[in-house]
Structure 1
Amino acid sequence: MKSILSFLFASLLALGARADSLQSLDAFLKQVSSGRAGFTQVVTSPPRSGEAKPRTRTSSGRFEFLRPDRFRFEYAKPFPQTIVADGQTLWLHDVDLNQVTARNQKAALGSTPAALVAAGGNLQSLSAAFDLKAAPDADGLQWVEARPKATDGQLRLVRVGLRGQQLAVLDIEDGLGQRSVITFADWQSGPGLSGSDFRFVPPPGADVIRP
């Protein structure tokens, strides 16, 4: 009897922790309307034929967002690159190639990790594009799993790691077996951003591509 009660108690604690992770994500979406952080991204690709180990590459930079539809990833290392959503257009600027790709933002984002961070205003709005599931706490973080409802995209799973109302990790898996882990640090909530901070103008001489 004692072992059964211990098991039930532990199960209830686990259920409570999982409920809290969804609540934390909901609070982040509702209460944090803008933010800024540094990030490190580690991308791991499956080994090619004849390779013994997976291939990894690491990049870093700065991230900021303003709900409901603006964000910026500013990659600094190893190669400069900028991704900006200004509310209408999603811009990707490859500095080395001096090339800019411009896409319709709504069509380009859809069920993407960026939608989890910047676009969603609450769990209900995210549930239109993702199946959300609370996961057990790990590594000092609360975790939520988000699976796209659309089956025709490349994204398979996003694990969102939260520390209270701060986004700590995005762990992204695609259908080809590639994994991208983005770790955020030095969060600033409500840093006073405005829509003009996300205005992007292609630099002079850049080759602008509109697929």
Structure 2
Amino acid sequence: MKQSQSLVTKIFAPRTLLVSALLVGAALAVPRFAHAAALEQFKSFVASTQSARGEFTQQLVKIESGTSKVSNKSTGTFTFARPGKFIWVYQKPYEQLLQADGDKLYIYDKDLNQVTIKKLGDALGSSPAAILFGSNDLEKNFTLKEAGTKNGLEWLEATPKAKDTTFDHIGIGLRNGVPEAMELRDSFGQVSLLTFTKFEKNPPMPANQFKFVVPKGADVFQ
């Protein structure tokens, strides 16, 4: 199964083990946050960021005999507007598109020329996607607490309040008021690491930015 496929379901169908990913890097840094606690930085970021775009790298990290092993690296771009609108594009090693218009989620596999359509509904809920794409009321679905400093970032731990989610813990690493990394730890001990670069906060977007158009000749499943 493709890495991008296993990533999608972890975000949008937390009861299963298939797919998940996201977040952001720093570009428009705010100096006063340079040494602020992670929770303060994060709450300010959520309150002030209604939309954004940037690039991401995702890797699967496994600890074997005390050594970290990285595999399944994928890269791509993202665009989002709260609540529930986004375009998440995997470019390498496989091309796949996840797009939501606030009502429906579209998953397009270019190799298969196949589109799967799902009702977005409450799918964001306690998933990692809610941190980027959901509403500002994160403490409704997550318990947030400080998690110290690591690799030059201030870390925040978000624990889903729901008991049936794929992820046990979600780590959010921040610098200068903007998330730069996420660590997604599942119930099987696997860690998906996401890093974010070229983050642009609240860029202008056309009204039809998130309208999905089915590619010509694509098979559609609902």
- Fold shared, TM-score > 0.5 on shorter chain: yes
Structure 2 equivalent of residue 178 of structure 1: 190
Shift of 1:19: 7.4
Aligned to 1:190: 202
1:68 aligns to 2:75 (yes or no): no
Percent identity between matched residues is 37
The number of residue pairs the alignment matches comes to: 187
Between Structure 1 and Structure 2, whose CA radius of gyration is higher? 1
For 2:207 and 2:63, how far apart are their aligned partners in 1? 39
Listed one character per residue, the Cα deviations across residues 46-88 of structure 1 (whole Å, up to 9, x for unaligned) are 88xxxx9967110001111112221121111011111112100
State the distance in 1 between where 2:146 and 2:36 align: 6
Runs (4 or more) in structure 1 with deviation over 4 Å come to 52-55
Instruction: Give the whole-Å Cα distance in 1 for the aligned partners of 2:186 and 2:214.
Output: 30
Counterpart mapping for 1:5-154 below 5 A:
20-44=37-61, 56-121=71-136, 125-154=137-166
1:76 & 1:60 partners in 2: Cα distance? 6
Please list the CA deviations of residues 86-119 of structure 1 after superposition, one character each: whole Å capped at 9, or x if unmatched.
Answer: 1001111111111111111123222111101121
- Distance in 2 (CA, whole Å) between partners of 1:100 and 1:179 is 28
Relative to total residues, which structure has the larger helix share, 1 or 2?
Answer: 1
Cα 1:165/1:106, change in 2 over 3 Å:
farther
Root-mean-square deviation over aligned CA pairs: 2.2
Gaps of at least 5 residues in structure 1 are: 1-16
1:156 aligns with one of 164, 168, 171: 168
Question: Any idea what SS the aligned residue of 2:47 has?
Answer: helix
Moved more, 38-47 or 139-148: 38-47
CA contact (8 A) 2:63 2:69 kept: yes
* Cα 1:25/1:194, change in 2 over 3 Å: farther
Per mean C-alpha deviation after superposition, the further-off stretch among 191-200 and 109-118 is 191-200
Task: Answer whether contact 1:42 1:181 (CA < 8 A) is retained.
Answer: yes
> In structure 1, the residue corresponding to 2:44 is in which secondary structure?
helix
TM-score where L is the length of structure 1? 0.81
Equivalents in 2 of 1:195, 1:127: separation in Å? 30
1:109 & 1:128 partners in 2: Cα distance?
A: 12
Answer 1 or 2: higher relative contact order, Cα 8 Å, separation at least 6: 2
Q: Which amino acid aligns with 2:191?
A: R
Equivalent-residue separation in structure 1 for 2:202 and 2:36 (angstroms)? 26
Provide closer, same or farther for how the CA distance between residues 133 and 163 of structure 1 changes in structure 2, counting only shifts above 3 A. same
* SS state at 2:123 partner: helix
Contact 2:59 2:70 in 1 (8 A): no
CA distance in 1, matches of 2:200, 2:61: 28
Q: Tell me how far 1:26 sits from its aligned partner.
A: 0.6
